[in-house]
Amino acid sequence: MSNKGYLVIAQNSDDTDYIKQAYALALSIKNTQKTVNKFAIAVEPGAKLLITKQYREVFDHVVEIPWTDHAKGHSWKIQNKWKYYYLSLIHISEPTRPY
């Protein structure tokens, strides 16, 4: 079994639903990539409640971004970028189903 896959960070803003965009991307990947098509989404704490049943059927993993939001109040979440490497090493390998 392959441990390869895609990790997408989805931190919604007031005017953009990045979780919905991640869902569209996951659908595309699942339909076009046969070898590597695992899809994980990382969301800010509390945002798991926004993941609908329809979305959960497509996302292989849903994990919370650890620690506080270092980019709170900013539309560009670059301050959280350092956490992505940590997520790719630790959290993606942990099972997250059932919800």
pLDDT, tens digit, for every residue of 48-75? 998 999 999 999 999 888 887 777 777 7
Tens-binned pLDDT, residue by residue, of the chain (99 aa): 567 888 888 988 888 899 999 999 999 999 999 998 899 998 988 889 989 999 999 999 998 888 877 777 777 777 777 777 777 665 445 544 444
Q: Are strands 61-64 and 39-43 parallel, antiparallel or unpaired?
A: parallel
Cis check for the bond before 45: say yes or no (omega within 30 of 0).
no
Residues 51, 62 contacting (CB under 8 angstroms): yes
Residue 25 has a CB neighbour count (10 Å cut-off) of: 17
The one-letter amino acid code at 43 reads: V
Q: What is the edge-to-edge ordering of all strands in the sheet holding 61-64?
A: 6-10, 39-43, 61-64
Cα distance between residue 90 and residue 98, in whole Å:
19
Tokens of 8: 């997408």
pTM of the entire predicted model:
0.78
